[in-house]
Structure 1
Amino acid sequence: TGWADAARRRDLLAAADVFALLSDNENFGVAVAEALAAGVAVLVSDEVYLGDDLAPEGAAVVTRRDPAAAGKALRDLLADDRRRQTIGAAGRAWARRELDDTRIGDRYQQLVKEVLARWSA
């Protein structure tokens, strides 16, 4: 679709059944966070490290990146409306809890304190 501004991304996510990011290497993935917040079922490769936090919460499906495994995971999600809804709801809850401005600010402040303590020791 090319560039999508914030309003267009919201429209695209609202129309999506699944958001998939089958990356070779991704530490966080802002697009994944947007999909989670929108309540879209998320499918990520095992190289999207955010999946390590999401999978135990039932907030995403994590798959190997090879075409057979990724294709099966996507087909399975597309065939199961209830599962997609459950994953989407868990993802939205995770995003509300973990991506809250106050929580992020507190975590960032703690990180800065830890870094400064290491440098001043």
Structure 2
Amino acid sequence: MLLNDFYTIQHSETLENGISVMVKINKAHEIFKGHFPNHPVTPGVCTMQIIKELSEKHLGKNLMLKTARNVKFMAIINPEENEDVRFDLSFETNESDEISIKATVSIEGNSALKFGGNFKKI
């Protein structure tokens, strides 16, 4: 779990079919010493893990990614320049009782990641 070490939740708002959450990335986190020295980049896998964790917290269920339909990285999240990151998530339960999650991750109003995937409850 990355919460409270890699990132902290600053603000969360429940929407009709989802949530909007502002998180603060911990720019002093150990991971940035290796990814990459003197040029920190938030790893894409960590951004996707935050989506999973925020979804689990909101839904009150443990989830596991089953399929990723759409994963499009559009901007680098440098924690020294953009430690505040917005996650907009929408949820839908499909016929297989899986949770379909669509997410847009933004920095300063610009999309950094668009994600769509199915998660199964565990």
- Common topology (TM > 0.5): no
Higher-RCO chain (CA-CA 8 Å, sequence separation at least 6): 2
TM-score (norm 2): 0.27
Larger Rg: 1
Higher helix share: 1
Higher strand share: 2
